[in-house]
Amino acid sequence: MRHILSLLLENEAGALSRVAGLFSARGYNIESLTVAPTEDPTLSRMTIVTSGSEEVIEQITKQLNKLIDVVKVFDLNEGNHIERELMLVKVRAEGKDREELKRTADIFRGRIIDVTDRTYTIELTGPRDKLDAFLDAIDRSQILETVRTGASGIGRGEWVLRV
């Protein structure tokens, strides 16, 4: 099953490679991994999207907790949560396609953030499925480039993950 793990880790050189190294050394899947400093500059927040059986996810959580730079690990699947990803797509937009692409972007609440005579660059945020659905909705041959950040996750309601 797909799991979203949220981590707080020391904002130190090498912390990222410890996490990434753990996943590759033990053969765990990484669908995506995002990381950036938090409001407390000594801490980074990481979201890892992974998949595996319950046993594997349990091991991943335990192994992450063993890393000295990891302050907290939480499996967002244990409660209600929100997941968002940012995608930038550059598409070929010529002639009658321009109108059609604009309409599709609107339906997905995307924004066109850059325009040339022949292209649009569209910005889209949402859960993974929504971004996938957008890519499915437009003609594949029009896609020139896609950039996705990978998911960031946060728990719903008043619950917070902090030190």
CA distance 64 to 150: 19
- Figure out which of the listed residues 1, 21, 94, 118 binds other proteins, where binding follows CB under 8 A: 21
CA distance 64 to 99: 48
Minimum Å distance from CB 17 to other proteins? 7
Which stretch in 16-24, 117-125, 134-142, 154-162 sits in contact with other proteins by CB under 8 A? 16-24
Q: Which of residues 134-163 bind other proteins (CB under 8 A)?
A: 163
Which stretch in 67-75, 79-87, 93-101, 122-130 sits in contact with other proteins by CB under 8 A? 67-75
Minimum Å distance from CB 25 to other proteins? 5
CB-based contacts of 113: which residues, under 8 Å, 6+ apart? 88, 121, 122, 123
What's the Rg (C-alpha) of the chain? Answer: 19
- Figure out which of the listed residues 34, 59, 104, 125 binds other proteins, where binding follows CB under 8 A: 59
H helices present in the chain, as ranges: 15-25, 54-66, 97-107, 128-137
CA distance 73 to 47: 10
- Work out whether 13 is an interface residue with other proteins (CB under 8 A): yes
Neighbours of 88 (CB within 10 A): 16
CA distance 153 to 134: 20
Closest CA to 82 of 26, 12, 151, 145: 151
Minimum Å distance from CB 52 to other proteins? 13
Q: Which of residues 38-57 bind other proteins (CB under 8 A)?
A: 55
- Figure out which of the listed residues 70, 87, 93, 138 binds other proteins, where binding follows CB under 8 A: 70
| Residue ranges that bind other proteins, judged by CB under 8 A | 9-10, 13-14, 17-18, 21, 25, 55, 58-59, 62-63, 65-66, 68-71, 163
